[in-house]
Amino acid sequence: MTLSPTVAVIGGGPAGLMAAEVLGASGAQVHVYDAMPSVGRKFLLAGRGGLNLTHSEPFDVFMSRFGERRAQLEPMLAKFGPQQVREWATGLGIETFVGTSGRVFPTDMKAAPLLRAWLHRLRSAGVQFHMRHRWLGDASLDSAALRFATPTGETSVKADAVVLALGGASWARLGSDGAWAPWLQGRGIDVAPLLPANCGFDGAGWSAHFSSRFAGQPFKSVAISFTDSQGRSFARKGEFVATATGIEGSLIYAASALLRDEIASQGSATLLLDLLPDRSAEQVLAAVKHPRGARSLSSHLKSRLGIEGIKAGVLHEALSKEAMQDPVQLAATIKAVPLKLVATRPLDEAISTAGGVRFDALDPALMATALPGVFAAGEMLDWEAPTGGYLLTASMASGAAAARGAIRRLGL
């Protein structure tokens, strides 16, 4: 009797697990290896505040979130996109709902029940898991001999195909440390530098007084705008948080790619913060100019415009005492507080990673042209996306795509 081909999936995050699921359904013998004691650690962390599985917006809008990598990712997401993610979750007994922002969540908001159901289904399909197996990135990978460091010593395994799903380089303590990058480069695979994505920034220039009083507090109901030196622009309403050294949070993460690249090329990036996006410049100026009688300026701004707390604090950061008394300058700054940023926060703090295995080092099936039989998937590929379910959906879609490529190569 001829044994089914063996496929090694290295990495137990969403991309690796989805690759294992598709491969298992093909009849292949599937072995998942992960350096950590359990799989899906970053997946579980992402679910702490409510697991954002995907997004419900129209597919064309969904695809626009992937920027310059849309062309490479669209074929994968056309096969396994937002609707397929929801159907997949339902198949695991996990119902989903669409939140007010259009994001899709499990009804209980939790990641752990979904992961448990997923692992049960994978094991039932014959997928075998090998924990605390750290791939050593050995040069014999092209002969399908894979070396792993384990608690009991080094071990070597053979496989007919390999799917690498090793993640990016953020949250190294959860297993994604980017150690694979020099290994693959040494095997002739082109890897774009790993950079922070969906990250915070340093350099807003806060005074010691502002940092001590407002670090950790949110800017709510604001908008930011930014145009880089190449004319690319970003403008959106939302909220973010002041840190002791700068800014972070969902609205900043959405603009982080442009800000990061501008800092890299120009040394800094200055965004404009609109403290009152729902009021026109004319309305703000009229309110500032309104007679305030014996009231202080802070009381006037609070009563007429609702500006207090951190919003009042950032105006004092941007303007001198004299400028604060100039209605025209004050009103203009309320609508456009300049925040100069000079550095991203460290890569290990970022939610996700930009850079990775370049698509031109892979064939359309995500197989490395320099290493036949070796496929790559997930965040270790050279793409990025904002938060909102895009990262998880595309990681799973690429895992499925790499598995389909391995299936075709093995003739299953």
Q: What is the CATH number of the domain that holds 23?
A: 3.50.50.60
What pLDDT sits at residue 1? 47
What pLDDT sits at residue 104? 96
What pLDDT sits at residue 2? 58
What pLDDT sits at residue 293? 85
Tell me, yes or no, whether 1 lies in a domain: no
Rounded Cα gap, residues 338 and 333, in angstroms = 8
Residues 191 and 206 in one domain: no
Residues 19 and 151 in one domain: yes
Among 308, 323, 344, the domain-final residue is 344
Residues 305 and 359 in one domain: no
Tell me, yes or no, whether 90 lies in a domain: yes
Residues 46 and 173 in one domain: yes
Contacts of 271 (CB under 8 A, 6+ apart): 224, 225, 226, 255, 259, 338, 339, 341
Q: Along the 412 residues of the chain, how does pLDDT read in single tens digits?
A: 457 899 999 999 999 999 999 999 999 999 999 999 999 998 998 878 789 999 999 999 999 999 999 999 999 999 999 999 999 999 999 999 999 889 999 999 999 999 999 999 999 999 999 999 999 987 556 555 799 999 999 999 999 999 999 999 887 787 788 999 999 999 999 999 999 999 999 997 899 999 999 999 999 999 999 999 999 999 999 999 999 999 999 999 999 999 999 999 999 999 999 999 999 999 999 999 999 888 899 999 999 999 999 999 999 999 999 999 999 999 999 999 999 999 999 999 999 999 999 999 999 999 999 999 999 999 999 999 998 899 999 999 999 999 999 999 999 8
Are residues 57 and 197 in contact, defined by beta-carbon separation less than 8 angstroms? Answer: no
Size of the chain in residues: 412
Total domains present in the chain = 2
Alpha helices in 215-306 (DSSP H): 250-266, 281-289, 297-305
Residue type, 98: V
What pLDDT sits at residue 142? 56
Tell me, yes or no, whether 32 lies in a domain: yes
Alpha helices in 31-179 (DSSP H): 41-46, 59-64, 70-79, 82-91, 112-124
Contacts of 194 (CB under 8 A, 6+ apart): 168, 169, 178, 181, 347, 353, 354, 355, 356
Residues 192 and 206 in one domain: no
Rounded Cα gap, residues 17 and 15, in angstroms = 6
Which three-class secondary structure state does DSSP give residue 39?
Answer: coil
What pLDDT sits at residue 143? 54
Residues 139 and 79 in one domain: yes
Residues 135 and 230 in one domain: no
Block residue for tokens 């460290």: 346
Residue type, 262: E
Among 310, 344, 378, the domain-final residue is 344
Among 344, 375, 402, the domain-final residue is 344
Tell me, yes or no, whether 86 lies in a domain: yes
Which three-class secondary structure state does DSSP give residue 7?
Answer: strand
Residues 272 and 305 in one domain: yes
What pLDDT sits at residue 378? 97
Residue type, 273: L
Are residues 403 and 380 in contact, defined by beta-carbon separation less than 8 angstroms? Answer: no
State which residues form the domain around 302: 201-344
Tell me, yes or no, whether 349 lies in a domain: no
What pLDDT sits at residue 111? 94
Residue 407 tokens read as: 């299936």
What pLDDT sits at residue 11? 96
Give me the long-range contacts of 147-155 (CB less than 8 A, separation at least 24).
148/33
Residues 216 and 157 in one domain: no
Helix or strand holding residue 351 (H, E):
none
Residues 177 and 88 in one domain: yes
Residues 185 and 162 in one domain: yes
Residues 52 and 126 in one domain: yes
